[in-house]
């Protein structure tokens, strides 16, 4: 019994079970929607969602990884800022701004050698996202302007500015979208497209995992990461300890923006027929990143698995059309999971109270 209490009292275990509860609640709501829509086909369709990418073998797994790449990066972006006490809701704008500059370099900078063209494009995407994320950070640090408000504004500014830049520099007027990038700017596939039988597959998943590892090390194994988290947990104590809180606010939002911008580059340099369109629509990957960060409890490793999970059920949801469900049904289910993900902290609190109560009862019995 004591070992059980110690396990449940572990901070990581609480976060894990809180996320599982949020996912379960969202899936149950999705099942209810399916039952109300078409009761006869609801259970087989729900099973298809749970099976996800595994239904289509390696090709399905490849599609899961392709869809997960950008939202893992935007999830890291939101989670990194949250760890430092900031709420980066501007990931969508940073993602779009980074995506545009990745495409711009991919189209215009054809003078670069084939081996480094795509690398430079990704670096420029990260820099663009960093600059876009820096603005709310500066406003927060200098004038104490709430980063939620400014980052939302930057989302729309970024969307409209990118529409203007596309038309001016990389526009395909026939299709109302950006033109295709040069082949040298496409991220190498390294044989993964043949292994997974999917043209979408490339080494992006390794880049995403690498960034997960880097963010984890920065946050948990460096003095810089400790200072960032200290500022987030107790700004007053951090200031008393001599930590430059304003500098860390700017750096936190800048790094968060770079991660989102890199996510945009990974998606639009995949060579999968994905183009930036001139539409007044915010990039959904940014908002999905918020849900991934919530489900992953802002832990880089948790964010990795949360991103893979969202990609998994997205692929499964596309297969529900076999049971006469519209493809948008998976969007409803993911939205429900996102909504329940916002309650992950509440679930964590409930688990904490439960473990404390059972531990107390165990002591009294002893």
pLDDT at residue 333 tops 70: yes
pLDDT tens-place string over residues 225-283: 888 888 777 766 677 777 788 888 999 999 999 999 999 999 999 887 789 999 888 99
Task: Average the pLDDT over 71-85 and give the result.
Answer: 93
Rg (alpha carbons) of the chain, rounded to whole number? 22
pLDDT tens-place string over residues 29-59: 888 988 888 888 889 988 888 888 888 888 8
Q: Please tell me the distance from the alpha carbon of residue 353 to that of residue 355, in angstroms, as a whole number.
A: 6
According to the model, what pLDDT value does residue 227 have? 86
According to the model, what pLDDT value does residue 263 have? 96
pLDDT tens-place string over residues 149-178: 999 999 999 999 999 999 999 999 998 899
Q: Please tell me the distance from the alpha carbon of residue 355 to that of residue 12, in angstroms, as a whole number.
A: 14
Tell which wins on pLDDT, 286 or 19: 286
What is the number of alpha carbons within 13 Å of residue 56 lying toward its C-beta? 21
Q: How confident is the model at residue 348 (pLDDT cuts 50, 70, 90)?
A: low
According to the model, what pLDDT value does residue 366 have? 56
Task: Average the pLDDT over 135-157 and give the result.
Answer: 93
According to the model, what pLDDT value does residue 326 have? 79
Question: Which tokens sit at 23?
Answer: 């996912």
pLDDT at residue 218 tops 90: yes
pLDDT at residue 7 tops 50: no
For residue 17, give Cα distances in angstroms to 13, 309, 345, 362: 6, 15, 11, 21
Q: Please tell me the distance from the alpha carbon of residue 171 to that of residue 227, in angstroms, as a whole number.
A: 44
Phi, psi angles (nearest 5°) of residue 258:
-65, -40
Paired residues of 177 in beta bridges: 172, 277
pLDDT at residue 343 tops 70: no
According to the model, what pLDDT value does residue 1 have? 47
- How many C-beta neighbours within 10 Å does residue 332 have? 16
Q: How confident is the model at residue 13 (pLDDT cuts 50, 70, 90)?
A: low
* Mean pLDDT for all residues in the chain: 86
Q: What is the DSSP string of 187-241?
A: PP-TTHHHHTT-TT--THHHHHHHHHHHHHHHHHHSHHHHHHHHHHH-HHHHHHT
Task: Average the pLDDT over 211-220 and give the result.
Answer: 95
Kindly state the percentage of the chain with pLDDT values over 90. 45
Q: First vs last Cα of the chain: how many Å apart? A: 11
According to the model, what pLDDT value does residue 8 have? 47
- Select the highest-mean-pLDDT range: 11-25, 99-113, 306-320: 99-113
For residue 69, give Cα distances in angstroms to 151, 200, 222: 23, 11, 26
């Amino acid at each position: 019994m004591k070992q059980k209490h110690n396990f449940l009292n572990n901070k990581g275990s609480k976060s894990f079970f809180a996320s599982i509860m949020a996912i379960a609640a969202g899936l149950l709501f999705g099942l209810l929607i399916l039952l109300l829509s078409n009761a006869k086909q609801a259970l087989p369709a729900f099973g298809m969602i749970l099976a996800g990418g595994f239904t289509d073998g390696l090709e399905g797994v490849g599609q899961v990884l392709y869809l997960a790449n950008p939202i893992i990066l935007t999830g890291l972006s939101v989670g990194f800022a949250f760890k430092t006490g900031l709420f980066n809701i501007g990931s969508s704008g940073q993602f779009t701004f980074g995506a545009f500059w990745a495409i711009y370099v991919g189209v215009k900078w054809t003078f670069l050698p084939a081996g480094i063209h795509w690398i430079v494009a990704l670096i420029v995407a990260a820099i663009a996202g960093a600059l876009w994320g820096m603005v709310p950070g500066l406003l927060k640090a200098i004038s104490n302007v709430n980063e939620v408000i400014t980052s939302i504004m930057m989302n729309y500014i970024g969307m409209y500015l990118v529409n203007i830049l596309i038309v001016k520099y990389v526009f395909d007027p026939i299709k109302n979208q950006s033109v295709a990038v040069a082949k040298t700017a496409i991220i190498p596939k390294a044989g993964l497209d043949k292994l997974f039988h999917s043209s979408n597959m490339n080494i992006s998943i390794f880049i995403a995992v690498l960034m997960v590892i880097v963010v984890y090390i920065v946050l948990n194994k460096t003095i810089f990461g400790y200072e960032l988290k200290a500022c987030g947990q107790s700004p007053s104590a951090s200031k008393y300890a001599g930590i430059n809180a304003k500098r860390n606010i700017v750096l936190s939002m800048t790094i968060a923006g770079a991660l989102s911008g890199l996510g945009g580059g990974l998606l639009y340099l995949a060579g999968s027929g994905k183009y930036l369109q001139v539409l007044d629509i915010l990039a959904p990957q940014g908002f999905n990143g918020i849900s991934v960060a919530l489900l992953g409890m802002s832990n880089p490793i948790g964010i990795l698995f949360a991103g893979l999970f969202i990609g998994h059920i997205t692929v499964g949801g596309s297969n529900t059309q076999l049971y006469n469900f519209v493809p948008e049904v998976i969007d409803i289910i993911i939205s429900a999971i996102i909504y329940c993900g916002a309650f992950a902290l509440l679930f964590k609190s409930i688990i904490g109270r439960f473990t404390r109560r059972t531990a107390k009862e165990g002591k009294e019995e002893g």
